[in-house]
Amino acid sequence: MARDVLAEMGPLALGSRLKRLAERMQADATKVFADRGLPIQGTHFPLLAALATYGPLSVTEAVEAVGISQPAVTRIHNALQKMGLTTVSPVEGDSRQKQIRLTPDGEALVNELKRDLWPQVRRAAQQLCEGPDADFLTQIGRVEAALQERSLHDRILDEGAGPALRLVEYDDRLAPEFDAITREWVEDMFTLEEKDIEIIEHPREMIIDRGGVILFVEADGLGIIGTCALMPVDGDAFELTKMGVRASARGLKAGDFLLQRTIERARQLPIGSLFLLTNKKCAAAIHLYEKAGFVHDADIMDRYGKRYARCDVAMSYDLSRPPQG
């Protein structure tokens, strides 16, 4: 049987044991963020949660809200600010005071976390807390034993596991799905532009008949939940476009599944250059693209960025590089 000096020391080691438990759970949370291509860490959670719950806060108010030191709050804010997720602004009526607030990218990320990830973490953590009432040290021991049996990281993955996903090829009968899924995510964040309408109302003429591809992802019990297209644009240049997943199906990793399958299909086509156009508001999607191997590309922005008024991010993918393992 493995030795555990902190458990053997009982109340004497309570602080050290709680610190060990917290670090273990924080490390698992950070793994989950990495799995999803999110830039944040578990230590960023208190300030993000406070800003999401209470709105803009002064440093003093943030310290009170999260119950950690002022230097710790400042460090977390500085890290989030470098990622473009928080900023500071003067307090109305008192220019000497400043408040920490979420940026639009920060709000988009928090909304994604609240919708998709936090419910999974809550359920996984609740499993660790279930059991008969006991004294505090016994409860800690039970949580530690449960983590030894299955980590919080794996429990969150279990919570996020959904129905089996399948790739579906384009068929004219699926044109309404292509239209509906694209309208849903574009209209949720932006305004449909003339180019959007031209593509989603005429997918065969704009994409298929010109040598492009439209793919769908289908989930058991849910039907078609996402789509993505490879559209010829200029010679052998193709745009990865209209990638979206229904809001009701987010959290199933359908986006990851669909993007990887679309890249695999791109490798089978006579594509010289592959690019995509998006907007900084689509922070989660950009992280997904970066994780898949897309890189930000100023030349692509210069050449194709004017295709959409909302475009302020352009990325390209090197199809000559070996597939990611």
Tens-place pLDDT, residues 222-231: 999 999 999 9
pLDDT of residue 144: 84
- Confidence category of residue 200, pLDDT binned at 50, 70, 90: very high
Mean pLDDT of the residues in the chain: 90
Which of these, 39, 85, 78, lies nearest to 59 by C-alpha position?
A: 78
Residue ranges of the domains in the chain? 5-158, 165-317
Tens-place pLDDT, residues 176-190: 999 999 999 999 999
The region of weakest confidence among 8-12, 221-225, 227-231, 262-266 is 8-12
**Cα angle 161-162-167, degrees, rounded to a multiple of 5:** 115
CATH topology of domain 165-317: Aminopeptidase (3.40.630)
Burial class for 220, CB neighbours closer than 10 Å (0-12, 13-18, 19+): exposed
262-266 contact pairs (CB < 8 A, 24+): 262/213, 262/215, 262/228, 262/230, 263/292, 263/293, 263/317, 263/323, 264/323, 265/213, 265/215, 265/230, 266/230, 266/238, 266/240, 266/317, 266/319
Higher pLDDT, 108 or 252: 108
Tens-place pLDDT, residues 105-151: 999 999 988 888 888 888 888 888 777 677 888 888 888 888 888 88
Highest average pLDDT, of 24-28, 70-74, 228-232, 284-288, comes from: 228-232
| 231: helix, strand or coil | strand
**Helical (H) or strand (E) element with 227:** strand 223-234
Pairing of strands 237-245, 223-234: antiparallel
54 pLDDT exceeds 90? Answer: yes
Higher pLDDT, 131 or 40: 40
pLDDT of residue 155: 80
- Structural class in CATH, domain 5-158: mainly alpha
Q: Which residues pair with 244 in a beta bridge?
A: 227
Q: What are phi and psi of 319, to 5 degrees?
A: -75, -10
pLDDT of residue 159: 65
**Cα angle 231-237-239, degrees, rounded to a multiple of 5:** 35
The token pair that represents 38 in the structure block: 């999110």
73 pLDDT exceeds 70? Answer: yes
pLDDT of residue 95: 66
Q: What are phi and psi of 315, to 5 degrees?
A: -135, 155
Tens-place pLDDT, residues 144-162: 888 888 888 878 776 666 6
